[in-house]
Structure 1
Amino acid sequence: MFLRLAGLPRRIKILLMLFSDLVLLPLALWSSVALRMGTLSPDVASYIWLFFVVPFVTIPIFIRIGLYRAVIRYLDDKIIYTVFYGVTLSVLLLTAVIVMGRVSSIPRSSLIIYWIIAIAYIASSRFLARGLMRSLERFEDRRQPVAIYGAGRAGLQTALALMSGPEFRPVAFFDDNPEVQGTNVVGIRVFDPMEAIDVMKAKECRQLLIAMPSASRTRRKEIIQKFEREGVILKTLPGMGELVDGRVRIEDIREVGVEDLLGRDPVPPFEDLIKSCIRDKVVLVTGAGGSIGSELCRQIILNTPRKLILLEQAEFALYKIEQDILKHRINFEVVPILGDVLNSDHMEKLISRYGVQTVYHAAAYKHVPLVESNVIAGVMNNVFGTLAASRAAIKGNVETFVLISTDKAVRPTNVMGASKRLSELVLQGLAQDRKCSTRFCMVRFGNVLGSSGSVVPLFKEQIRNGGPVTVTHPEVTRYFMTIPEAAQLVLQAGSMGKGGDVFVLDMGESVKILDLAKKMIELSGLEVRDSVTGSGDISIEFTGLRPGEKLYEELLIGSNVSWTAHPRIMTASENCLEWDTLNKQLDELKNACLSGDDRVVRAILKALVPEYVQG
């Protein structure tokens, strides 16, 4: 019977609550008179009609103030204020009826007693109904229990969203604020985080949702570290900037990512730097469909260029980034161009036709093993693509040309790194010409999280498939930065360039890839398999360093580095080649590429980049 009651349509449930009020309101009036008279059988014959008037006076007020719109199972303590307001208005109207009806036989003080009892009866009926509904839900609820860290606004909205869904059932809140600990939020108890592990075990809950979108990365990291070895599956909400109008949706919830483990808060952008090369200018992004290129485009549109040109050789990647940009309400033109930076004539015509003022050159082959086995394609795209784009920029009087470089260009052990270092040397050589009006600069940084070819999505897929997680070497380390932060710093560094500058982004502390793999397994609620005992869920296997791969990466060739006005951007002073010498050897390198001689290409690379040591 009770299960049928829980499954009734909402309209029927509202009618049932209305019927209960029809009974409770006259009962409250009778109780108040009985208490005032001190007898269980007071004489009410002379004003019996008032017991019929009370519900017809009060229920319209309840309807008007929205008491019947509240969803019973999600009622919170605020319902008391609604009941208080409604009953108070009804008492005032009832008093007016008694005065105008000249009812002298009813004790006036019983109205005060009625006011108190009516509030108690109506509020209690709601809370009893809520308790019954939730008990029935728990009786047959097969949803997964989840705890929520953060009992603030985001936590409340998240709990309500989860409670109305078919997958998860919130069972506990944890909050650092002592004032809310021990209270109930939408019927869910708020606990001290120090009790979190015991509470979750008692409630058989293995999932924790961090609902603190405004918390710093440092604070998130502290919370994550508290739970990462406890077999708890951690999930989180995005930052406040990603939540629209403060509304939390189920699809906003994501697994805890590596960016939450970095523990480093991004520095707010310097608006004057980020806008100087973009605002009201024609901007070209090469490799616009790639990981960095697409994020550069997303950051650029926030700063209202006059026109944004997207150059990409992969059709689907170009289509995807164009559609992504057009989702935003923009008041400038977006021009998608299918093309190759190696096509010099196309680049010159493109820059001349649209009057390009700023170029962000992100087009490159970056996957180390693939470039190592495709030497000529890598050198052609990375070196001569940069050369073609930069010469077209000079010819088209482009104001600023920014090359996206990599930490693998520092003392490279692979063709990809050597080709990117040579690309830097090309721009440094071109910048030596005093007649050149184009400002060239390079921005060098390490790995970005979630980029194509990154270990993070690979590890996620391997964990999802039950393992093993493959790590090349137990001691390998890498620098990591989020894609949005990297793109934002690139835009700011580009504004600082004077000509031939090499900017290096502060990547923070390097991360041991083995530790990263272990943390990702633990954050998935699983255990790393012990190689000796065989206990655990996911094993880690070492595959050996790939061709051209280093144990660790560096960001600086020498020690001559100085800080800029931005706390995350440094500038390096490094040796470069005379343009006349470099230009001749570039011709030799191109001829070697066209003839298909990998050995000669590597030899010329070695001559031009002395730090290059084949791994």
Structure 2
Amino acid sequence: MGNVFKIKELRYIPRWVVFFIDISIIFVSIWISYLFLKSLKAKVNFSEYQDKKIFVVIVVNVLFMLLFKTYAGIVRHSTFFDFFKIVWSSGSTLLVLLGLNFISELVLGKSVYLYPVIFLFFFVSTFLMFFFRMIIKRSFKMVMGVNNVPSKVRIAVVGVDNESVSLANAIIHSPRHPYRLRGFITARSDSKKAMLLGHKIYNKEEFLESDDLNKQFDAVLIKGIMAKPEMEEWTALALDKGLKVLKAPVVNEIKEGGIVEDIRPLQIEDLLDRAPIKIENEEIRNRHFKKNILVTGGAGSIGSEIVRQVAQLDASLIVIVDQAESPLHELKLELLERFPNQNFKFVLADILNLYRIEKLFDEYKFSIVYHAAAYKHVPLIEDNPPEAIFVNIGGTRNLALLSKQYNVSRFVMVSTDKAVNPTNVMGASKRTAELFVQSLQNSSGNTTKFITTRFGNVLGSNGSVIPHFRKQIEKGGPVTITHPDIIRYFMTIPEACELVLQAGTMGNGGEIYVFDMGKPIKILDLAKRMIKLSGYTPDVDIKIEFIGLRPGEKLYEELLTDNSTTVPTHHEKIMISKDQLMEFADIELLCKQIMKSAIKKDNLEVVKILKIIVPEFISNNSEFEILDRVPKELAY
């Protein structure tokens, strides 16, 4: 067994060994050819020079082996490309020998070699060289599989097209990776008895009817370019059979490790991901070209992606502001490596610090401000209302007023669907920020275009439901859901940021842009699908528990208020929400009052003023519900 492990550690047979074996095969082929000749009792021409004739055959063959490098390939990864190199080498030798015969017949009247012998030598030597490589290749596969079969993931590749075959070949030729090809699955019905790369092709009907597929396969492998409906279908089929689902990379996303290195478990994001919105790149590039750009909350999920996309638009300078030290440092390391030619400035600062932020506006004269800094976690904000006032309202007010003061061309704020008919302090604070930003559009002396974008939940963002569920599943459960009927809209981080950039280009000022996010998703269904994708059975391997709605949380969320109307834009996925507005003087007075209450840490007073600013704010499952039972008036 020790010898087996030593062979496993051998990466390839040295080239000189392959070269020596090929020369030995030439000797064997010559011997076989002359045995055949002897059996026919044929008369040999120039028999007195037999040794010299054999020497010429060997030298010519070796020269062509060196020329075509037949020995250079890794034998255990031999393909038909290696076979063709052998054919070229042996074929060239054959042509030289035929040439010698032709010259000999012209000069001496008879051939040096008998024609049957040289043709037989060509076929025998070609066959033996390629057969040797196939034997070594098969032997390596068998040895690599000894005592290692249980640890290999047995894979069925979905599809029989060229890309599927390439994936299968990559798996076959990557013995050090934890995958083993066991077959193919296809929707086609004309492949029932066909074999591909030595493995059976199963059609969909066989797959559906079989009850013991988990004895043959551990997982199915889906191509990265597969359309979402087809991916959904095969995923559901595999999960119903108790198989894991793996996803291969798209060709242009393959990293240095190769295709097999980048195979990964299918994520829920792959199934929820929709086609990204198409944006007018040329117009967006013109808006940012050689301009100074400010991104607040730049180390967060949305802010950092905005920075990555803007970094591709040839901006003169991108200033990134965030108060989170470690994330900002990590982002700095990433951006300096990815975009070495882009000029960045990383600023550790709180947007509530007016003097610190104003210094940036004065120094860099920004053309566009992307405001993504905010507190967003509903339960935390419900317990700490003043903090939402400081950051979501006070910080936004600082940035918006400075943008107006320093004649910033465009101010684009990231908002949330929780600002629509809010049931919590976080949503109400963001709605107040929306109202303040909109009010500045028609204020005296303003030249800035103030634009708001409103999102649903963002897949994979910090603190979102999917990473939370993933951690719970990794720990063995339970997966906790607040309510069995709760639903949410979802979009990807790139989609969200493309919307921000698009809105910044489209806006004339004062708009709230909303995105057509398709149908909302039931969180219970999301959890079940994630558990299955992880290879477990919901409520058997991983329990699902309902813990009740959190303070301020509601079952569903909206992107538009009841009193609003929508206006279409030139982009089919983007609409403008026509919400009720407030005059700048009115919202400015209320913002100053609520900031004073926040400084005093008077939670009830803070929420009471929020309900004055946002009349549709009705608390849900919260201690502030008491304020909805009394007239909404202030006593000063």
Give the TM-score, by structure 2 length.
Answer: 0.88
CA distance, structure 2, for counterparts of residue 7 and residue 493 of structure 1: 58
CA distance, structure 2, for counterparts of residue 569 and residue 339 of structure 1: 33
2:129 to 117, 122, 125: 122
- Larger mean CA deviation between 193-202 and 328-337 belongs to 193-202
Where does residue 532 of structure 1 map in the other structure? Answer: none
Where does residue 550 of structure 1 map in the other structure? Answer: 554
Is contact 1:162–1:250 with CA below 8 Å preserved after alignment?
Answer: no
2:227 to 213, 216, 225: 216
Is contact 1:73–1:133 with CA below 8 Å preserved after alignment?
Answer: yes
- Larger mean CA deviation between 291-300 and 572-581 belongs to 572-581
CA distance, structure 2, for counterparts of residue 498 and residue 418 of structure 1: 25
CA distance, structure 1, for counterparts of residue 212 and residue 142 of structure 2: 20
CA distance, structure 2, for counterparts of residue 132 and residue 31 of structure 1: 26
SS at match of 1:435: coil
Where does residue 437 of structure 1 map in the other structure? Answer: 447
Is contact 1:445–1:505 with CA below 8 Å preserved after alignment?
Answer: yes
**Aligned AA (1:477):** I
Percent identity between matched residues is 33
Q: Deviations over 1:517-557 (max 9, x none)?
A: 1001111111112xxxxxx2111111111000111111111
RMSD value, Cα: 3.0
Where does residue 345 of structure 1 map in the other structure? Answer: 355
TM-superposed CA distance for 1:208, in Å, is 2.9
1:470 to 465, 475, 480: 480
2:242 to 198, 207, 231: 231
CA distance, structure 1, for counterparts of residue 356 and residue 519 of structure 2: 42
Q: Deviations over 1:463-500 (max 9, x none)?
A: 11111111111101111111111111211111111111
Q: 1:287 to 1:105 in 2, by over 3 A?
A: closer
SS at match of 2:95: helix
Where does residue 594 of structure 1 map in the other structure? Answer: 599
SS at match of 1:441: strand
1:482 to 477, 489, 492: 492
CA distance, structure 2, for counterparts of residue 376 and residue 40 of structure 1: 107
Q: 1:263 to 1:318 in 2, by over 3 A?
A: closer
CA distance, structure 2, for counterparts of residue 152 and residue 200 of structure 1: 28
Q: Please tell me whether residue 376 in structure 1 is matched to residue 386 in structure 2.
A: yes
Q: Please tell me whether residue 561 in structure 1 is matched to residue 566 in structure 2.
A: yes
Where does residue 22 of structure 1 map in the other structure? Answer: 23
**Aligned AA (2:96):** L
**TM alignment of 1:317-328, pairs within 5 A:** 317-328=327-338
Is contact 2:455–2:514 with CA below 8 Å preserved after alignment?
Answer: yes
Q: Please tell me whether residue 453 in structure 1 is matched to residue 450 in structure 2.
A: no
CA distance, structure 2, for counterparts of residue 306 and residue 174 of structure 1: 51
- Larger mean CA deviation between 234-243 and 364-373 belongs to 234-243
Q: 1:235 to 1:414 in 2, by over 3 A?
A: same
Q: 1:349 to 1:4 in 2, by over 3 A?
A: closer
SS at match of 1:509: coil
CA distance, structure 2, for counterparts of residue 37 and residue 566 of structure 1: 84
SS at match of 2:240: coil
Is contact 1:158–1:249 with CA below 8 Å preserved after alignment?
Answer: no
Q: Please tell me whether residue 512 in structure 1 is matched to residue 513 in structure 2.
A: no
CA distance, structure 1, for counterparts of residue 308 and residue 167 of structure 2: 28
SS at match of 2:458: strand
Is contact 2:213–2:241 with CA below 8 Å preserved after alignment?
Answer: no
Where does residue 88 of structure 2 map in the other structure? Answer: 85
Q: 1:180 to 1:38 in 2, by over 3 A?
A: farther
- Larger mean CA deviation between 440-449 and 344-353 belongs to 344-353
Where does residue 145 of structure 1 map in the other structure? Answer: 153
- Larger mean CA deviation between 485-494 and 41-50 belongs to 41-50
CA distance, structure 2, for counterparts of residue 215 and residue 202 of structure 1: 23
CA distance, structure 2, for counterparts of residue 162 and residue 379 of structure 1: 59
TM-superposed CA distance for 1:200, in Å, is 8.8
- Larger mean CA deviation between 174-183 and 289-298 belongs to 174-183
2:502 to 476, 492, 502: 492
1:579 to 580, 584, 601: 584
Q: Please tell me whether residue 606 in structure 1 is matched to residue 611 in structure 2.
A: yes
Q: 1:346 to 1:514 in 2, by over 3 A?
A: same
Q: 1:493 to 1:237 in 2, by over 3 A?
A: farther
Q: 1:4 to 1:167 in 2, by over 3 A?
A: closer
CA distance, structure 2, for counterparts of residue 11 and residue 595 of structure 1: 74
TM-superposed CA distance for 1:249, in Å, is 5.3
Is contact 2:297–2:303 with CA below 8 Å preserved after alignment?
Answer: yes
- Structure 1's unaligned 5+ residue stretches are 530-535
Q: 1:33 to 1:410 in 2, by over 3 A?
A: same
TM-superposed CA distance for 1:278, in Å, is 1.8
SS at match of 2:548: coil
CA distance, structure 2, for counterparts of residue 438 and residue 173 of structure 1: 61
CA distance, structure 2, for counterparts of residue 11 and residue 174 of structure 1: 29
Q: 1:236 to 1:68 in 2, by over 3 A?
A: same
TM-superposed CA distance for 1:240, in Å, is 4.6
2:98 to 76, 92, 95: 95
- Larger mean CA deviation between 112-121 and 398-407 belongs to 112-121
Q: 1:130 to 1:254 in 2, by over 3 A?
A: closer
- Structure 2's unaligned 5+ residue stretches are 621-636
**TM alignment of 1:270-419, pairs within 5 A:** 270-419=280-429
Is contact 2:351–2:395 with CA below 8 Å preserved after alignment?
Answer: yes
Question: When the two structures are aligned, how many residues end up with a matched partner?
Answer: 606
**Aligned AA (1:92):** L
**Aligned AA (1:556):** L
Q: 1:4 to 1:411 in 2, by over 3 A?
A: closer
SS at match of 2:80: coil
1:69 to 72, 75, 78: 72
CA distance, structure 1, for counterparts of residue 482 and residue 54 of structure 2: 82
TM-superposed CA distance for 1:80, in Å, is 2.4
Q: 1:412 to 1:425 in 2, by over 3 A?
A: same
Where does residue 133 of structure 1 map in the other structure? Answer: 140
Q: Deviations over 1:576-596 (max 9, x none)?
A: 112222222222111111121
TM-superposed CA distance for 1:281, in Å, is 1.2
2:218 to 206, 216, 220: 206
Is contact 1:439–1:500 with CA below 8 Å preserved after alignment?
Answer: yes
Give the TM-score, by structure 1 length.
Answer: 0.90
CA distance, structure 2, for counterparts of residue 395 and residue 180 of structure 1: 71
Q: 1:283 to 1:262 in 2, by over 3 A?
A: same
Where does residue 39 of structure 1 map in the other structure? Answer: 40
**Aligned AA (1:311):** V
**TM alignment of 1:147-226, pairs within 5 A:** 147=155, 148-149=157-158, 152-153=162-163, 156=166, 160=170, 163-164=173-174, 166-172=176-182, 174=184, 176=186, 182=194, 184-185=196-197, 192=203, 195=206, 201=213, 204-210=216-222, 212-226=223-237
CA distance, structure 2, for counterparts of residue 215 and residue 422 of structure 1: 43
